[in-house]
Amino acid sequence: MAVRKAVIPAAGLGTRFLPASKAIPKEMIPVVDKPGIQYAVEEAVRAGITEIVIVTSRGKDSIALHFERATELEDHLSAAGKEEALGLVKHVAGLADISYVLQEEPLGFGHAVLQGKAFVGSDAFAVIVPDEIVPEPIDDEPDLLGELIAIHDRFDASVIAVQEVSHEDISSYGVIDPEPVEDHIHRIKAMIEKPPRDEAPSDLASRGRYVLTPELFDALERTEQGVGGEIQLTDGLRLLMQQQDIYAYVHPGPIYDVGKKLDYLKASVELALRREDLGKPFREYLSARLEDL
């Protein structure tokens, strides 16, 4: 069955991006000229997902405002003949059917996903972490969410995106114990959240994109607090794995973690370089500037 729904958890505290995230939701911080969360919604729409729930927390009303119609602004831009700006504003409001659910307390990523249960019902669904930006594919790059949906359809099972990360950094991630199935696809034998480096079963880390069966919600309801006192999605997936196989897809393309300052800088540069309107002059600027550094 086609995957039509996505849960976008955006209720985290964003402590790694302070002070910017003190008054502005981290998901609203722009990367080039769009807030991070807009990339997530656009990615869902590209993969054919039309119904989206964003999990928010108090003080994050600007996220909903961003995706609403802004008729006064539209009228003003229209009267001023600013067609390009008008197009950008209308595009955001018309992207998808978006609803919102509040996570009362920041009890963890898994807990945030669980808030999407009523919205999702009994369908398979995608989870898109907006801190991690998957750029729109160019040339023959695979479209990550499209690949995950295709794998879900073939195996009739949950599938998560993974990438190899450096062994030094492995303790920051959910890590899988892989059993190779075919090129780029593994069956997950076990999964552990933020393992000590010497206990990591591999260097394949989960990377913010999931297509999951609805049984995950029952598993999350049975999941106890884990690392950091939070309800971790990884722990919910481990429970689900006792009932169903779960697969991992090793994404060969770029994923930028914009929740971290250094990766945010890398993402800003690389996403700008990929842009048709900005890429060429920005590349020229960077090449000239790098000679002086």
- Tell which positions 8-27 bind ligand UTP, by CB under 6 A: 9-17
- Tell which positions 54-83 bind ligand UTP, by CB under 6 A: 55
| Half-sphere CA count of 45, side-chain side, radius 13 A | 15
Three-class secondary structure of residue 96 per DSSP = coil
Q: CB nearer to ligand UTP: give 15 or 50.
A: 15
Nearest residue to ligand UTP, using CB? 12
Dig out the tokens for 172 from the structure. Answer: 């920051």
CA 97 to the chain's CA centroid: 18
Number of residues that bind ligand UTP (CB under 6 A): 21
| Helices assigned H by DSSP within the chain | 36-46, 61-67, 71-79, 83-93, 109-114, 117-120, 144-155, 215-221, 233-240, 261-273, 279-290
Minimum CB separation of residue 130 from ligand UTP in Å reads: 5
Q: How far apart are CA 259 and CA 239, in angstroms?
A: 27
Minimum CB separation of residue 88 from ligand UTP in Å reads: 24
Q: CB nearer to ligand UTP: give 2 or 64.
A: 64
Q: CB nearer to ligand UTP: give 16 or 189.
A: 16
Q: CB nearer to ligand UTP: give 99 or 243.
A: 99
Q: What are the residues whose beta carbons fall under 8 Å from the beta carbon of 88, sequence distance 6 or more? A: none
Q: Which of 152, 259, 271, 272 touches ligand UTP by CB under 6 A?
A: 259
Dig out the tokens for 183 from the structure. Answer: 């090129």
Q: CB nearer to ligand UTP: give 17 or 249.
A: 17
- Tell which positions 114-153 bind ligand UTP, by CB under 6 A: 129-131
| x-or-dash string of contact with ligand UTP, 80-119, rule CB under 6 A | -----------------------x--xxxx-xx-------
Inter-axis angle of helices 36-46 and 144-155, nearest 10: 50
Q: How far apart are CA 47 and CA 49, in angstroms?
A: 6
The site for ligand UTP (CB under 6 A) is made up of 9-17, 55, 103, 106-109, 111-112, 129-131, 259
